[in-house]
Amino acid sequence: RGRNKAPNKQLLSIVLLLFGLLYFSLCIYFGVQIPGESALQYGKQSLRKFGSSYLNGHEDDDFLFPKSFPVCDDRHTELIPCLDRNLLYQRRLKLDFSLMEHYERHCPLPERRYNCRIPPPPGYKIPIKWPKSRDEVWKANIPHTHLAREKSDQNWMVVKGNKIRFPGGGTHFHYGADKYIASIANMLKFRNNNLNNGGKIRTVLDVGCGVASFGGYLLSSDIIAMSLAPNDAHENQIQFALERGIPAHLGVLGTKRLPYPSRSFELAHCSRCRIDWLQRDGILFLELDRLLRPGGYFVYSSPEAYARDEEDQRIWRRMSALAGNMCWRVVAKQNQTVVWQKPSSNRCYFERKNGTRPPLCRDDDDPDAVWDVRMEACITPYSKHDHKTRGSGLAPWPARLTSPPPRLTDIGYSSEMFKNDSDLWVERVDRYWRLLGPKIEGDTIRNVMDMRADLGSFAAALKNKDVWVMNVAPEDGPRTLKIIFDRGLIGTTHDWCEAFSTYPRTYDLLHAWSVFSDVTKRGCSGEDLLLEMDRILRPAGFAIIRDTTSAVEFVKKYLTALRWEAVAVEAAGEDDAVVIVIEKKTWIS
């Protein structure tokens, strides 16, 4: 009172400064992107505590949820968090490059995870639909043409205008994978030169697969291949495979077991895959042995199999000796290709001389323990059942899909439980497709991931749709992945507290059954999981989340921030279970 009523400039400056600090804090807290900012990396302790607290029942804390996420800058359009070379340099990890450790999974620490949405590359288009996509993709979606130049003499891929086309060639099959596949069947004297051999060969592992043309052309023979390659100098080969709609997975034969159970594949294939099979007492050869079924085949096309120079001949003699000690035998050799066959029982192993190397694995070694487990240079003998029956006892495909496999007893399941589970998922999938109906056509969905696959019955229920399913088994759950492979399906082991080994924008549909509940029970972040699902999903892709009411309500709080749209929400007809179907909207950065 009685003072000059003109504004106090010092007080006004302080108020403006405080307001600016408050605005900046809210931007960081709620994830609003500030102009000019690049990809935001931050320690997520503060967000993590409420990212999972909502699942525990604090439903009135709406202010804790971000209204939007920042967009990563264009350097990260192909980010694979656990296979990020920049991360290796930042963490200064001491890795043995000769053992391919730098191509194995190394995930960022919690404080180094990305809290931003991965943008599509400039000019991105909705992918070409299957089956046309097997032969061509949009160049803008994967703007890398170095393989077309580097492999121009091998017909891997050809750039044609705004598309990249795939003639079906490979390093050892320049004139087409279809002719090469028929020649292998002819070498093995299979009827009508059909490699599936009356349904007896269904699951194949293609090591060092390139752009997966071998696996792509096997599909017409009712054979499904796990096309495997690392994120190496040909870094986009798996990205091309998935863009084409061909089953594929990022991985490497390094120091750790591949994330597949024992006796998963009828055939393994390596066409000039540049793997040193003799290193470390043949440990990589022995990893293939672990993965092959009784009587399984290894098809090897490489100079060592046919060249006449001294070095190739030396390698061939050593490989032949190692294969002989493993009880493998050559069943066919022609031109550039040799085919070995694994024994059907333990008889040969027990008849070897004492001290023969490689030795049999210890009795306490679990051949189905694969998550972050180091390889062993030993032979995995068969179970009593497989030894007695001289084989896996599996029905031919497609009867295999619905026939209870012998290994059900390993996980405590009966044939009746198996049938009931299959029938239940037929009903659930039928309901899912009714909910999706207004949004999809027959060719809308191709690449599907079941994030918690259990026995693989979700994938089995999709048998009449033109899709393939990556079945993901939790690393800490029952060892059900071997049942999935025994049904003639494919999959992998994973921990959803970490990022999945795939490129961004590679799946059309994600199915998450109780995944959010499982992750948060283990103290991991539901928000991190949502961002990872957003990374994996293609624009205009879908996610079906089946979980508790609190988990689904948690997801709904993030729809706006993720630019997702709820297509349908309904009670699942089970105790406290809800189904929400969402669509990822198409957007550009």
Please give the pLDDT value at position 471. 98
Please give the pLDDT value at position 41. 35
Are 215 and 206 contacting, i.e. CB atoms less than 8 angstroms apart? yes
Residues sharing a CB contact under 8 Å with residue 108, sequence separation 6 or more, in sequence order: 81, 82, 84, 87, 114
Please give the pLDDT value at position 63. 53
Are 532 and 510 contacting, i.e. CB atoms less than 8 angstroms apart? no
| Distance of alpha carbon 83 from alpha carbon 86, whole angstroms | 9
Please give the pLDDT value at position 60. 47
Please give the pLDDT value at position 86. 87
Whose CA is closest to 398, among 175, 191, 199?
A: 199
Sheet of strand 158-160: strand arrangement:
136-138, 163-165, 158-160
Please provide the size of the chain in residues. Answer: 589
Please give the pLDDT value at position 42. 31
Ranges assigned E (strand) in 220-304: 224-229, 248-250, 265-271, 292-301
Q: CA quadruple 304, 310, 314, 320: dihedral positive or negative?
A: positive
| Distance of alpha carbon 36 from alpha carbon 513, whole angstroms | 39
Ranges assigned E (strand) in 352-483: 447-450, 468-474
Domains of the chain plus CATH, in order, are: 174-394 (3.40.50.150), 401-584 (3.40.50.150)
Copy the structure tokens of residue 172.
């050892």
pLDDT in tens, the chain (589 residues): 233 444 455 666 676 677 767 666 655 444 443 333 333 333 333 333 333 334 544 444 555 678 889 999 888 999 999 999 888 888 888 899 999 999 999 999 888 888 899 999 999 999 999 999 999 999 999 999 888 777 766 778 999 999 999 998 877 787 789 999 999 999 999 999 999 999 999 999 999 998 999 999 999 999 999 999 998 867 689 999 999 999 999 999 999 999 999 999 999 999 988 899 999 999 999 999 999 999 999 999 988 888 788 999 999 999 999 999 999 999 999 988 999 999 999 999 999 999 999 999 999 999 999 999 999 999 999 988 888 888 889 999 999 999 999 999 999 999 999 999 999 999 999 999 999 999 999 999 999 999 999 999 999 999 999 999 999 999 999 999 999 999 999 999 999 999 999 999 999 999 999 999 999 999 999 999 999 999 999 999 999 999 999 999 999 999 999 999 999 999 988 778 999 999 999 987 6
Please give the pLDDT value at position 467. 98
CA-CA distances (angstroms) from residue 226 to 136, 268, 269, 340, 375?
20, 10, 10, 19, 20
**Other residues' Cβ atoms within 10 Å of the Cβ of residue 572:** 18
Are 170 and 213 contacting, i.e. CB atoms less than 8 angstroms apart? yes
Whose CA is closest to 561, among 544, 536, 585?
A: 585
| Distance of alpha carbon 424 from alpha carbon 420, whole angstroms | 6
| Distance of alpha carbon 11 from alpha carbon 269, whole angstroms | 76
Interior angle at CA 569, CA 563 and CA 572, nearest 5: 140
